[in-house]
A and B are shown apart, each in its own frame.
Chain A
Amino acid sequence: MALSKITPEQVRHVSLLARLSLAPDEEERIRANMDEILGYIDKLNELNTDGVEPTAQVGDPGMAMRDDVVTNHPDPEAMLANAPARERGYFKVPKIIE
């Protein structure tokens, strides 16, 4: 394995952003995984991409669009079916501060 690219601090930072709480052994496993992924990216970086537009998406000449027509869901009540808690048609969540 080449030099570590990802530090344990970075793993903790990213897991906090993703709201994941990781045990110490998970942290190390994920750190190693991320290292491998970045190693693969390095391999891609060996390709010469001079003159190639950065491409996140294929599908030119652009996306299909829909007309501005209201098609409300026939059963909005069903959207709340899996809510852990609800009140008067609202989703109920732990109190948000600010």
Chain B
Amino acid sequence: MSHDAYEAVIGLEVHTHLLTRSKLFCGCSTEFGRGPNENVCPVCMGMPGVLPVLNRHAVELAVRTGIAANCEIAPRSIFDRKSYFYPDLPKNYQISQYETPICKGGYIELPGDGAARRVRLVRIHIEEDAGKNIHEANSSLVDFNRSGVPLVEIVSEPDIRSAEEAGAYLRELRDILRYIGASDGRMEEGSFRCDVNVSVRKKGASEYGVKTEIKNLNSFRFVEKAIEHEVARQIEVLESGGKVAQETHLWDPDREETRPMRSKEFANDYRYFPEPDLPPLVVPPEMIDAIRSSMPELPAARRARYARDYGLSAYEVGVLTAEKDTADYFEAVLPGLKNARTAANWVMTEVLRVSNESGKPIAQAAPPASEVRALLKMVEDQQISLNAAKTAFAAMCKSGKSADATVAELGLAQVSDEGAIAAACDKVIAAEAGKVAEYRGGRDKLFGFFVGQVMKAMGGKANPKVINEILKKKLAG
């Protein structure tokens, strides 16, 4: 029997850091990359007698996430203690939310052609992160800078059917989180992490198969590869008459395979109970209303608008809207230009290139949008050539000068003056009498040569369109 007889059933649990300045329950900084144990205090170190005090902004960002993901926001939710022992968890419990998360239900719509594909959510809840372990030869080292950093866990329904779809879901979720300013979505820094639940079943079956959980996935590519690997493995097991064991697997990025984690005893016996140090979290309706009215346009809406209003392709729309900054910049370049595609092409090639090459955000790497608009306007008005615009743009990125000043300084303005161009054409025709005769005798290919000569005579600044027109007339004799 072939693998085609099976389908994968995949659910994802995403943990993402919220972009707060301070931790969830204490005033320690959340800054990434500090020396070990520099952002720590008695609260996030779990010293006896301390009390957690909830960060309002973390709650606001969780609500923002819930609204963006079409969730129902719970007016009242409870924090619970999740108990387990691990060296990176100083209190021996994690403050999380169990029975009453702050957001319930909701869905993420995946981009794509045709009918929109929805992945439903089970819930989104707030919790604190643990510290970080570094394993040495004979010991482990623990850094608690991350301990207490606010997270939301976003749990999907098992609505995903392929590795590719899992990747699409994660990218869309990350884009949304970045658009709304809830998370920076940096997987490689551990601020956006994903656990995967995978099972397989015969196509058409309504019951779920036994699932395994895959942890330790720190890139979109690894998530996709791990799912592909695990789905194939489970099918092999079933096809050879075996049973899939419910276990947790770790992804091994070097060998590109999953392997079962040594089963932790009672791994799932977390003994949740309501956190006695925190009263119920009440989210006032005013907070929800204020957040709802401050929501930016989300990626899906923006994509639809770009396709509809600017006639851009799905690929172009995808590139322009992947980052909010890029889309905002594109829209700031647009006003007054005749053709949206001029701005789209420019942002996709020149602007993103300088941003990528310098590793800096667009705002720092590229000139202000208004100056790029001025430059593109000159191209549209045939005052400068597209190549001249590229030269000016490169200079503007370095100098910070305006488009006008740069074009003037570099002498890039294009000559469209017909008199000057006609004079240059006459000169070339007079100087190249032999070639003119050949051309008139039927060697059409020589036309390019004459254009080149006129352009050279004009110092490369003549409008090629005007040269073409005038030369054609004159050579026709």
A59 to B83, CA, bound (A): 24
Query: Within 8 Å of chain A (Cβ to Cβ): is B419?
Result: no
A19: Cβ under 8 A from any B Cβ:
yes
Across the interface, do B87 and A96 meet the contact criterion of CB distance under 8 Å? Answer: yes
CB of A98 within 8 A of CB of B261, answer yes
Given the known A-B contacts A57-B78, A79-B40, A97-B262, are A92 and B141 also in contact in the complex, defined by CB atoms under 8 Å? yes
- B139: Cβ under 8 A from any A Cβ: yes
Q: Is B444 an interface residue (CB 8 A)?
A: no
Interface residues of A in 66-98 (CB under 8 A from B): 66-73, 76, 79-80, 85, 87-98
Contact B36 A90 (CB under 8 A): yes
> A37 — which chain B residues lie within 8 A by C-beta?
none
- Given known A-B contacts A17-B269, A62-B76, A57 and B280 have beta carbons under 8 A apart: yes
CA distance A84 to B389 in the complex (A): 65
Chain B residue nearest to A92 in the complex (CB)? B139
| A52 on interface, CB distance cutoff 8 Å | no
Which residues of A sit under 8 angstroms from B250, Cβ to Cβ?
A: 98
Distance (whole angstroms) from the CB of A76 to the closest CB of chain B: 5
Decide: B40 and A59 in contact? CB cutoff 8 A.
no
Asked if A66 and B53 make an inter-chain contact with CB atoms under 8 angstroms apart, the answer reads yes
Find B140's partner among A76, A79, A88, A95 (CB 8 Å cutoff): A95
Please determine whether A95 and B37 come into contact, CB atoms closer than 8 angstroms. Answer: no
Known A62-B76, A91-B141: A96·B56 in contact at CB below 8 Å: no
Q: B112 in the interface, Cβ–Cβ < 8 Å?
A: no
Subset of 15 A-B contacts with CB under 8 Å? A17-B266, A57-B274, A57-B278, A58-B279, A59-B280, A62-B281, A66-B27, A67-B57, A68-B20, A69-B27, A71-B27, A79-B37, A92-B140, A94-B139, A95-B136
Note all chain B residues with C-beta closer than 8 A to A51.
none
Contact-residue bracket for chain A: 35 or more
User: Chain B, interface size: which category?
Assistant: 35 or more
Q: Is B355 an interface residue (CB 8 A)?
A: no
Chain B interface secondary structure, helix, strand, loop or mixed?
loop
With A and B bound together, what is the CA distance between A92 and B134 in angstroms? Answer: 10
A65, B56: Cβ atoms closer than 8 Å: yes
Query: Are A64 and B262 neighbours in the complex by a CB distance under 8 Å?
Result: no
Q: How far is the CA of A97 from the CA of B28 in the complex (A)?
A: 29
The answer to whether B140 touches A62 (Cβ under 8 A) is: no
Q: Determine the residue in chain A with the shortest Cβ distance to B269.
A: A17
Contact B282–A60 (Cβ < 8 Å) = yes
Q: Is B58 an interface residue (CB 8 A)?
A: yes
- Given A62-B76, A93-B87, CB of A16 within 8 Å of CB of B279: no
Interface residues of B in 248-271 (CB under 8 A from A): 250, 261-262, 265-266, 269, 271
B279 pairs with A98, CB closer than 8 A:
no
Q: Is the CB of A93 within 8 A of B21?
A: no
Q: For B279, what are the chain A residues with a Cβ–Cβ distance below 8 Å?
A: 57-60, 62-63
Contacts of B135 in A (CB 8 A): 95-96
* Chain A CB within 8 A of B143 CB: yes
Shortest C-beta distance, A65 to chain B (Å), equals: 4
Q: Which residues of A contact B296 (CB under 8 A)?
A: none
In the assembled complex, the CB of B84 is this many whole angstroms from the nearest CB of chain A, namely: 9
**In the complex, what's the smallest C-beta–C-beta distance from B43 to chain A, in angstroms?**
9
**Residue interface mask B25-40, A partner, CB < 8 A = 1:** 0011100000111111
A1 touches B (CB below 8 Å): no
Asked if A24 is an interface residue, CB under 8 A from chain B, the answer is no
* Contact code string B169-203 (vs A, CB < 8 Å = 1, else 0): 00000000000000000000000000000000000
**Across-interface contacts of A3 in B (CB, < 8 A):** none
Nearest to A60 among chain B residues (CB) is B280
| Cβ A66 vs Cβ B282 within 8 A | no
Contact B22 A69 (CB under 8 A): yes
Partner of B54, one of A66, A69, A90: A66
Q: How far is the CB of A39 from chain B (nearest CB, A)?
A: 20
The chain A residue sitting closest to B18, CB to CB, is A68
Q: Is the CB of B140 within 8 A of A63?
A: no
Residue B142, interface by CB 8 Å: yes
